[in-house]
Amino acid sequence: MIKVIKYVWLDILQNRIVLAYTVFLLVISATLFGMETNPGKGLMSLLNIVLMVVPLISLIFTTIHFYNSYEFIELLLAQPINRSKLLLSEFSGVASSLVTAFLVGVGGPVLYYAPGATGAALLAAGVALTLVFVALAFLASVCTRDKAKGIGLALLIWFYFGLLYDGLVLTILFTFSDYPLEKAMLVLTTLNPVDLARIFIMLQMDVSALMGFTGALYQEFFGSAAGSLYALGVMLIWIVVPIWAAVRVFCKKDL
């Protein structure tokens, strides 16, 4: 398994995309912090990058990488290697390289310009989102043999979690504005890893606003130990379930 991960790493390093991704994140974060005199505002702009760009890159890169190494995977499967082990090593290789890229690219500037609880929350959320979307991308890629279809599916996933879902929640919000929906909103947000990550960061960043009105509910919930555990658990489910489903599909798949 370690050996396979090593080959995945070597392959990723060779095509330099992850390196470019690291540099891209580094430049963007450094610029955002450099432009703003107030590091809080830099973090705020970075929030949108983390919530939109990180899932997108994770999805697309993973999918393309998976299809490009299809032959390599086929070759390895000719050897006496367990299929689930192979896929898990692929996942670990891709995920760890993307997480490293993220930590270097965003973590560096954040630690330099805005060290603190908000920055830490941002980094934790970014790492979690990377893992979640790499897992989802693996699920999307094992589902279809066609590269175009696979990438299309990955894009759809991104579109759904990044945009559509919030639109749907907003619609629900408007339609049922007369009803007490606080608790329902709490549940709805945890059904989307992007929203969960956003709220997790917001609890550090916009504490003052969240203390007002119903925001206090979220503060109370996520601020408590049980709430944090719950958020962590939901994130873990979002990582484990897709990768487990992907392994199942891959094991039964006719390559």
Partner 1 sequence: MKVCWLLLLPLLSSAKTIVVGPAESIRTVRQALFVAADYDTILVRRGLYRERNLLVEKPLVIRGENFPIIDGQMKGELFTVRASNVTIQGFDLRNVGMTSTIDWAAVKVLEARQVRVIGNRIRNAYFGVYFSASDHCLVSRNDIKGNPHEEQTTGNGIHAWKCDSIRVENNRISGHRDGIYFEFVTHSTVQRNRSFGNIRYGLHFMFSHENSYFYNTFQHNGAGVAVMYTRKVIMRHNIFENNWGSAAYGMLLKDISDSKIEDNIFRRNTIGIHMEGTSRIMTQRNLFIDNGWGMRIQASCNDNTFTRNTFQSNTFDVATNGQTVLNTFDRNYWDKYEGYDLNRDGTGDVPFHPVSLYSMIIEKIPYGVVLLHSFMVTLLDRAEKVMPSLTPEALVDAKPLMKPR
Distance CA 246, CA 255 (A): 14
Dihedral angle sign, alpha carbons of residues 228, 231, 236, 237:
positive
Interacting residue ranges for partner 1, rule: CB under 8 A: 38, 40-41, 44, 47-48, 51-52, 162-163, 166-167, 169-170, 173-174, 177, 181-182, 185-186, 189, 194-195, 198-199, 202, 206-218
Q: How many CB atoms lie within 10 A of CB 77?
A: 14
Nearer to partner 1, 4 or 51 (CB): 51
Phi, psi of 253 (to 5 degrees): -75, 145
- Measured from the CB of residue 156, what is the shortest distance to partner 1 in angstroms? 16
Least distance from partner 1 to the Cβ atom of residue 202, Å: 6
Shortest distance, CB of residue 106 to partner 1, whole angstroms? 17
Q: Is the dihedral of CA 184, 228, 108, 116 positive or negative?
A: positive
Nearer to partner 1, 11 or 166 (CB): 166
Taking the least distance from each CB to partner 1, the nearer of 65 and 198 is 198
* Least Å from the CB of residue 6 to partner 1: 37
By beta-carbon proximity to partner 1, the closer residue of 21 and 161 is: 161
Residue 140, judged by CB atoms within 10 A of its CB (0-12, 13-18, 19+), counts as: buried
